[in-house]
Structure 1
């Protein structure tokens, strides 16, 4: 049994865990006392996806997340800008368009390849001085007034604080949406640069995001009833492309998909509190959201940024009890978490009720947003950067 001691252990090496490690490394004179507990060693650059069909996974990063990553010099080289977002409802009147010019920002957000961003973050953390330990999934064990014990395989660590950054959002709050998401990519005959699309159907939202690896391609997230999703996933490419084009409409011409399709069940899961003693949850470990509007990762990055900021003073004297600092973190994150979770919970359910009066009301709401900039601005600003106290 190998034993060692650290100030902070980060359990999970996804984007949120890596960003937290980089932020903490900037706050301390001893970055080696921050440990990132990862899984497999990083892939070589040759293994990274080079086309949408090879790996359709992309990440929609809002303006605030891109600014954060750029400040850490961790922004991926290739990205597709989003300067316009078109929101509509299939079969009903009402739509709205959000433009970056309305908010004096160069872009509303960006789409990056998951593989490329993850590789960039891995390289940045490797150069930061943070300790990285590879092995099986780590687990937090018991804690006392002096610290918390974490185990990764045969390695046991004693830490001042342990941070869960990956996994499920917990079972305190749970909602099943009776929707599965199909994730794939498609090529359009009439692509429109820097446009993203969110189209609400009666079975769930359909999102098309510009793909960073091909100017003609779009990342597709199609939410529908589980049975329908299974049917779509098994279609041959031509039939699936026709169904996708019919559901989305003609704004991008014909859509053709030759990429693999991945199906995921959708649910909201969230912890009521982010802290239990010296154990902290952020990112997907704190809340797992419906993918509508692409808010999950952006919310997790805001968790990481606030936690790092709150722990700045504690890191200068990690022998102190962090309880007051962690309570401050919980308070600071409360409004943003619940507003974002509430929005992403309401939208896919309200537009998929199959009740004509409510569907018409949703369409009227979209029309009101389109006609009145003061109504549109609060929603757009939240999607841009989250709630700021």
Structure 2
């Protein structure tokens, strides 16, 4: 009877986390959309205030952040049992810092914020008065994964991919199946809340239907190799760049201020803000047949790495989507495949390689582009995953 009550408690807890996290993700996402619109309207003025915004971000983290500064690293530490607590102040700090980064033109993503919000909230509530109604075994990790799934789903509105991402990302080669029930409930609940409250979802249904044959498989293998190596390049360069920036500017205020000046100048001079923000402009332009330059993917890669290495906040996933999609659009004529198909393959495979995940990218492809491409996603992602050599943007990810 006690265990049954605890299963019911876990279900109620998961529903509550889905509602709460989904609601917060809507606030975060809608404000992010608004600040992006402001940046687009006043870009020439705002971009040169990026270094000052960096100083404010650094002050907030130095003065109030504490261990919250570790960001996703803290989430992974708690998931591995190496840290016990995630301070709730992490949530407003990372949200506000990410808004500032995007408002003033930094090149960064948003998924790290979403996952941190969900993980912090779920972990916090699992240790409070609700703890007596929840299972005791592995509950800390289960709660964390539950929140991570809700956070990813609430922002991206891809509930199935969110579940698998949360289950597989902490330890490569191992699915945390004990969290399947709670993660699934929280993920779908956050998805419904987010959808009901009107947060925009990116989707692009690819009309092409393709039958597998040896020639197509050979092309998919070649594309998987390229996308896998680009994802690996991103994660390797990000790790090395963070260490290098800490050596070049040991003072964190100097690092974000002078680095911010360089980022602002580069983003201003390189097509007037084309590489600022998330990179969704590159995705939309690529998939709808507008102009994509052969160097778009590498400039977005470099500027995102530089932005994050000097201390600005956000995430890496949406830029990875943009890098992969814009590269795919350029490669499509080379391999003789439709632009939207190869763009979609790049979108999921560079993300999968960069995060060292396998199942989530395949499913996010289905949820964003349509399940008719699932065999193509599987083959390309299988090759890309093998080519990344277990490199990941998440430095504290472990190997089973």
Q: TM-score range by the shorter chain?
A: under 0.3
Scaled by the length of structure 2, what TM-score is found?
Answer: 0.25
Scaled by the length of structure 1, what TM-score is found?
Answer: 0.26
Higher strand share: 1
For the pair shown, which has the larger CA radius of gyration, 1 or 2?
Answer: 1
